[in-house]
Structure 1
């Protein structure tokens, strides 16, 4: 006999158990809308001794936003939860897509907030409707399988674990739950503003009577396909050689692999070199792949890619390393950790000029690798080039290793 379906709150708690059972503390992002309000109440019931903190990002885009944030604070206090308001300061000079800028700003504010309060993860109230809308929006933009796989239940980003325990629950289910429990929520009028792509997609789904759960199921199925592609890309990456902060990929297996596998490994390799949060644009990657196929060297997002015997070498581009500027330690160019820096000294790129007096070939470095390597300077005086010549008291260590490359391939 089939067991009856679990009630809504039990389903959310089961997802939280999968995603956050090991965590002693958890942050919750709450806007005051129905989805995040329901999540806050359910997490308060699920907490079981865990430290739960709530944050509301006030984007300042509507006159009511400050009072709405205070309403969330009052509701959190009733549940015994600490609440913080995070103010987003819009940079007018940024231009571009307002919603995209607000999203990026929100994630940065929340990750900084979580780190200040020792919160290893933050939960969001995204639903099956959000997942379906995301898939359709990305489909309209010609997204590949990564984009169409939609939002993941868990993701590591900005040093924080992001959780979405309600991706298999609809907005309507949550509002019924709130109504049944006598809990109010805030309706954001911008959710009816057809200037925004998401709102237009939402209206189109309603007009066509599209089932958000069915579309969200397609996103989950595409997510499984993405995981399979990543699995086989990670197997190919096991043949990679890591040396001096550069990545060497065996050329023949890459050429034999399906183009999609090659593309994924190239993107992960570039992100591994630079530590970038986001992959390069798709067309830029495709252009790079065309150049590689003709055995030409090419630059992709600050990474120099060139044939080297039977390998494909990925090296930090010297010009990009130079743009990283100076650091007084310990980290430089999002690639290196340097210990032993003395007062008045700083870290900056070595550059090409000093190479004439340094044994860069003896260390097995290419000229570009040597030029983009970290150097210790006192003003304009070169003190040490630790990758080219051992020199106490400086210790230089790369920030990423083979495990990080595998993580880039497998985690979304």
Structure 2
């Protein structure tokens, strides 16, 4: 696996902390950036997070190694540069801020372990929907489970914004059906369901050999012209769709095999016994392990 080293230093940690503090970030945002992470088949490393920027430059100067400075590093229109100059003027050292960010990163790691256990105990998979059993879970546990579930079902790279999430949780407190981040979220008693929103996927079409909605693969007898689209109005051709136990809204946003305008199979709705709908193996697995 390829590995790329990034030059973020202790000063970057401090500056990022203050930028995110200004955005009212919580624990996840204020915690120190990860020293190692994987994305798109590449490992990214930040080996200099404990090294001051000045020490790195002194090291390079002593060895006659040149480097390139980004012109934006002197542009006051950027918040990071204003914060950098502000710290210098106030005499606040980046080391103390970076230490706090590192401590928050440790707390975040511990919280991730706790949340992984909560996920295993409370979240189940039904078709492509996630069901969260609230039970005696506190509001912060439910908030984090909901954030993770929305990212998984909605296929988002980043968590939803705080304001949108707070509004969703307030509405879920009285029940009903609500949408956010490409998902349909409903509450029935103590169970919260996160499903894909049909409006988001209704125009999505791929060849039957490709992955659909970044999570589904359809397996069955191949034929020319077969594509995967959302079931949508094709549910009228699926007399046994209720037997699957999935709500109608979830079925509408589920994968189906089409040939032109003809519905060939809808595995989640019980149509087409020779076809199966398979979720990507990593779907809904260990969302807090990062």
When normalised by structure 1's length, the TM-score is 0.66
Q: Name whichever of 314-323 and 337-346 sits farther off.
A: 337-346
Q: Distance in 1 between matches of 2:68 and 2:124?
A: 53
Q: Distance in 2 between matches of 1:400 and 1:245?
A: 12
Q: 2:185 aligns with which of 300, 305, 317?
A: 305
Q: Distance in 1 between matches of 2:27 and 2:90?
A: 24
Matched with 2:58 is 176
Matches within 5 A, 1:61-100: none
1:357-398, Cα deviation, whole Å (9 max, x unpaired): 431111111101111110111111111112222636533211
Matched with 2:280 is 399
Q: 1:265 aligns with which of 112, 132, 145?
A: 145
Would you say 1:231 and 2:110 are equivalent positions? no
1:155-178, Cα deviation, whole Å (9 max, x unpaired): 233343321111111111111111
* Partner SS for 1:253: coil
1:275-320, Cα deviation, whole Å (9 max, x unpaired): 2111111111111110111122221211111123542111111112
CA shift in 2, pair 1:393/1:283, >3 Å: same
* Partner SS for 2:218: strand
Would you say 1:368 and 2:259 are equivalent positions? no
1:130-172, Cα deviation, whole Å (9 max, x unpaired): 1111001111111111111131112233343321111111111
1:318-361, Cα deviation, whole Å (9 max, x unpaired): 112214x1001320011212234432111110003533543111
Larger RCO of the pair (alpha carbons < 8 Å, separation 6+) = 2
Matches within 5 A, 1:281-360: 281-323=161-203, 325-328=204-207, 329-340=209-220, 341-355=222-236, 357-360=238-241
Q: How many residue pairs are counted as aligned between the two chains?
A: 287
* Partner SS for 1:284: helix
Q: Distance in 1 between matches of 2:239 and 2:15?
A: 57
* Partner SS for 1:242: strand
Q: 2:73 aligns with which of 167, 171, 191?
A: 191
Q: Distance in 1 between matches of 2:150 and 2:239?
A: 27
* Partner SS for 2:267: coil
Deviation of 1:274 after TM superposition, in Å, equals 2.3
* Partner SS for 1:252: coil
Q: 1:201 aligns with which of 77, 83, 88?
A: 83
Matched with 2:124 is 241
Give the aligned CA root-mean-square deviation in angstroms: 1.9
Q: Distance in 2 between matches of 1:132 and 1:347?
A: 48
Gaps of 5+ in 2: none
Flag the structure with higher helix content. Answer: 1
When normalised by structure 2's length, the TM-score is 0.92
